[in-house]
Amino acid sequence: MKNKTFLIYVISIVFVYIFNIMLFFIKISDKSYLFKNDVNCYSFWEYSTHNGLLSIFMFLLPIAISIITIKSINTKINGSYFRNYIIRDNYKKLIKREYLLCLAKTIIPYVTISVIIFILGFLLFKHDITNVKYADLYSNFIYDPMFNQTSCIVIETIISIFFFILILNIELIVYRLIKKLGLTIIFSFLSLNVLNFILSNFFRIISTVIKNKYISEAFYSFNIYHGFIGSKYLIFTFIIFAILSIISFVFLAKLYKSKERMVLDFEQ
């Protein structure tokens, strides 16, 4: 059943990306599309991995990730597996292994598909950007002139990985506090969006007192979902998501640190 759930998750992701690729080809084949000469492998990757159906799918990610990760952990903790394991083996080893397994389930499908899409685009389209200054406008590629095209894609991918880590950490924190799978799915979704609301408005306020235009715009435009759909302010977004991932991991480590507390809490 666990493998079946994960398989459905992967198939759903593949469907979303295939749909986006189809949308991309429909877009560039439209006679009214003015920027055919600007289409390149980078814009193909950007559109296919950050646009279209993904603008809806990204809101469902906390729910989907909960089902493939927290559901498995919930089954183990509330069954005999957890109690039997910690009696004969190391608790920290178990927690570390389960956490890494959850990360693999959330990150590997995205990174694998992202790499495949880039290779496909590299084979089908040109490798240069005609209008570098207006790359995001003309070719849909969120291009930061501080880096070359490939570096932009690598950094965007790392930011997305941080985004997945943040979601997973939030879900594991919520599950540790609530201890119920159904409520964890609901409150994880709400927690991510509440965090997004707080941070977006906080950064927007800060942006009004910053004199540097680039930094001010980066603060003003911040959205937690930029971790999945991209942002042209790469360094700023990278730093923020790295910090959020570290902070959430620290909270997570503290909550799961005590074996005795875990056993007592989940026996109640």
pLDDT single digits (tens) 132-173: 555 555 556 666 667 777 888 888 899 999 999 999 999 999
Mean pLDDT of 187-195: 90
Say how many C-beta atoms besides its own lie within 10 A of residue 192's C-beta: 21
End-to-end CA, the chain: 27
Question: Pseudo-torsion of CA 143, 103, 92, 1, nearest 10°?
Answer: 170
Higher pLDDT, 210 or 80: 210
Q: Look at residue 144 and give its three-state secondary structure.
A: coil
pLDDT tens digits, one per residue of 23-74:
888 887 877 766 677 788 888 888 888 877 877 888 888 888 888 888 878 7
Checking if the pLDDT of 99 tops 80, the result is yes
- pLDDT grade, residue 93 (50/70/90)? confident
pLDDT, position 143 = 65
Q: What percent of the chain has pLDDT over 70?
A: 85
Query: Residue 21 in contact with residue 94, Cβ under 8 Å?
Result: no
pLDDT, position 248 = 94
Checking if the pLDDT of 249 tops 90, the result is yes
Higher pLDDT, 110 or 214: 110
Per-domain boundaries in the chain: 2-267
The residues near 164 (Cβ < 8 Å, ≥ 6 apart) are 65, 103, 106, 107, 110
Checking if the pLDDT of 265 tops 80, the result is no
Higher pLDDT, 179 or 80: 179
pLDDT, position 26 = 85
Radius of gyration of the chain (CA): 21
Say how many C-beta atoms besides its own lie within 10 A of residue 27's C-beta: 16
- In the predicted model, what is the mean pLDDT of the chain? 83
Paired tokens of 1: 């059943």
Query: Residue 44 in contact with residue 24, Cβ under 8 Å?
Result: yes
Mean pLDDT of 203-207: 90
Say how many C-beta atoms besides its own lie within 10 A of residue 96's C-beta: 12
Query: Residue 227 in contact with residue 241, Cβ under 8 Å?
Result: yes
| Nearest CA-CA partner of 59 in 239, 169, 177, 223 | 223
Mean pLDDT of 113-141: 76
Say how many C-beta atoms besides its own lie within 10 A of residue 222's C-beta: 22
In angstroms, the Cα distances linking 149 to 114, 120, 139 are: 15, 16, 13
